[in-house]
Amino acid sequence: QTGYITYDPGLANTGSCQSSITFINGEAGVLRYRGYAIEDLVAHSSFVEVSYLLIYGELPTRAQLEQFQDRLTHHSLLHEDMKKFFEGYPPSAHPMSVLSAMVASLSTYYPDSTDPEITELNMIRLLAKLKTIAAFSYKKSIGQPYIYPRNDLSYTADFLHMMFAVPSEPYEVPPLFEKVLDVLLILHADHEQNCSTSTVRMVGSSGADLFAAISAGISALSGPLHGGANQAVIQMLEAIHQDGGNYQKYLAKAKDPNDPFRLMGFGHRVYKNFDPRARLIKKLVDQVFNEMGVHDPLLEIAKKLEEAALQDEYFIERKLYPNIDFYSGILYRAMGIPTNMYTVLFAMGRLPGWIAQWKEMREDPHTRIYRPRQIYQGATHRPYRPLDERE
Ligand code: SDX
């Protein structure tokens, strides 16, 4: 304590807001969206229905769900001019930086408003268009023509169709992949005040519009310690595979205080038990690989790494368990999604959560602009020294 300022690096012990959206019990490994257990939502719901639940607070009636789906379907096209924006990027541009810039530019076409109907329409527009922006940025990066949204496909199937179809022949989205991706999007949909959601709230607290706040959230998510971890996990597993599968060597590196290497996909600020999402994804991995009858050497390495870490004193005493990113990349790989799109899929999943949190922040009369203080450790007051007195 320094006077009235509490030094709390990473805001680990600070409640930055009051929220009714997502509940996490890190000790018990519990995750609920609007009071519904993540296990129930994965078993019975869909990503579109969970998006409605997060944003509006209740499970939709059939009529509400149909109207919500219909609005998402009919707002999935981008303004044709936006295709010019993609042309400016080299193929090497990371899709997360393209996504962040494109979302920010939506403010140009759909300005913010005090009219709640416009504000709500802009949330719908963003949820409808992000998957189109994501798929277009992928097609641009591989030099293939854009595939437009199709109104006859589900949200998830439409995204996969825009990713993998080509104009020259019909493409059927594999039902297994549609189901798997829908579950993954549900699992990523919200997670209370994580780094990127706090960023959305912080930017939004200044009165910046929805698209500016979400664009900032996408940038925060791109870091390897946060959403970028799913891509970093696969890169780590590939490095181990190249290194003869020697996972013990990487486990030792992760424990070495002088080595900056961390076991990607392990550890969590809040979960000091299994991340319930990691449990669900691991179950899904086994189902998918059995159903596909395929084998992935990276999966074998991941399972050995997890087993060794969970029995290792260093990880046990620090309560480090697999998090959502440890196995998600394995599933994206199985679906043929390229590694540099993994964090984009995380952003697509997290979008309804970011929207819900931004809406709650904007509607909360107690919201104040985020402006934390600091513990100053710089120079005390000193007189100016003219240039010729400085050697
Ligand atoms: C996500 O917040 C959320 O909810 C995020 C998220 C969401 O849905 O939004 O769940 C998504 O971002 C999941 C996390 C993905 N990141 C990674 O997998 C990267 C690897 N993990 C770590 O960098 C780390 O565990 C964090 C970033 C996830 C959490 O960092 P903390 O809470 O600040 O923990 P810490 O860095 O203070 O670590 C505590 C100790 C340290 O050792 P000591 O200094 O006490 O000796 O544990 C060690 C760390 O060195 N440690 C690790 C480790 N994670 C922590 N050591 C090796 N490998 C790791 N992965």
13-24 pLDDT per residue, tens: 999 999 999 999
Could you tell me the distance, in angstroms and rounded to a whole number, from the CA of residue 315 to the centre of ligand 1? Answer: 11
From the list 38, 373, 52, 8, the residue with the least C-alpha distance to 192 is 38
Measured from the Cα of 262, ligand 1's closest atom is 58
Q: Kindly state if the Cβ of 260 falls inside 6 Å of ligand 1.
A: no
The 10 Å CB-count burial string (b at 16+, else e) for 345-366 is bbbbbbbbbbbbbbbbbbeeee
Residue owning tokens 């870490």: 309
C-alpha distance from residue 360 to each of 192, 194, 217, 323 (Å): 12, 15, 16, 27
- Residue 338 pLDDT grade (very low, low, confident, very high; cuts 50, 70, 90): very high
Structure token digits, residue 378: 């710089």
pTM (whole model) above 0.80: yes
Atom of ligand 1 nearest to the CA of 326: 18
Ligand 1 centroid to residue 320 C-alpha, Å: 8
Residue nearest to atom 15 of ligand 1 (CA): 226
| Closest ligand 1 atom to Cα of 226 | 12
Identify the band that residue 90 occupies on the pLDDT scale cut at 50, 70 and 90: very high
Cβ contact 323:229 at 8 Å: yes
Which pair of tokens denotes residue 98?
A: 């393209």
Q: Which two tokens stand for residue 279?
A: 């449990």
Q: Return the structure tokens found at 97.
A: 């930086």
Beta strands in the chain (DSSP E): 22-25, 30-33, 36-37
Alpha carbons 285 and 236: distance in angstroms, whole number: 18
Q: What share of the chain is helix, strand, coil (3-state, %, to 5)?
A: 55, 5, 40
- DSSP characters for 134-200? HHHHHHHHTTPPP----TTS-HHHHHHHHHH-BTTB--PPPHHHHHHHHHHHHHTS--SS-HHHHHH
Rounded distance from Cα 233 to ligand 1 centre (Å): 13
What is the distance between the alpha carbons of residues 57 and 55, in angstroms, rounded to a whole number? 6
Residue 338 carries which side chain, given as an amino acid letter? P
pLDDT digits (tens, 9 = 90+) for 51-69: 999 999 999 999 999 999 9
**Per DSSP, what are the bridge partners of residue 30?**
25
Lookup result for tokens 């009636």: 61
Give the residue among 40, 60, 19 at the shortest CA–CA distance from 186. Answer: 40
* Catalytic annotation present for 8: no
Mark whether 191 is an active-site residue.
Answer: no
- Kindly give the distance from the C-alpha atom of residue 194 to the centroid of ligand 1, in angstroms, as a whole number: 12
Query: Is there an atom of ligand 1 within 6 Å of 194 CB?
Result: yes
Confidence of residue 3 (pLDDT cuts 50, 70, 90): low
Q: DSSP 3-state assignment of 322? A: strand
> First vs last Cα of the chain: how many Å apart?
40
Are 350 and 130 in contact by the 8 Å Cβ rule? The answer is no
Of all residues in the chain, what percent carry a pLDDT higher than 90? 98
Q: Is the pLDDT of residue 192 over 80?
A: yes
Task: Provide the pLDDT for residue 42.
Answer: 98
Summarised one tens digit per residue, pLDDT across range 243-290 is 999 999 999 999 999 999 999 999 999 999 999 999 999 999 999 999
pLDDT given for residue 4 in this prediction: 83
Residue listed under structure tokens 């010019």: 84
Q: Which of ligand 1's atoms lies nearest the C-alpha of 318? A: 47
DSSP class of residue 57 equals: S
- Whether residue 138 has pLDDT greater than 90: yes
**Would the CB of 305 count as within 6 Å of ligand 1?**
no
* 267 CB near ligand 1 (under 6 Å): yes
Q: 197-253: per-residue pLDDT in tens?
A: 999 999 999 999 999 999 999 999 999 999 999 999 999 999 999 999 999 999 999
Quote ipTM for the complex. 0.97
The confidence score (pLDDT) of residue 220 equals 98
- pLDDT of 391 reads 82
Distance CA 257, CA 370 (A): 34
Residue 184 in this model has a pLDDT that exceeds 80: yes
Which of these, 45, 79, 361, lies nearest to 201 by C-alpha position? 361
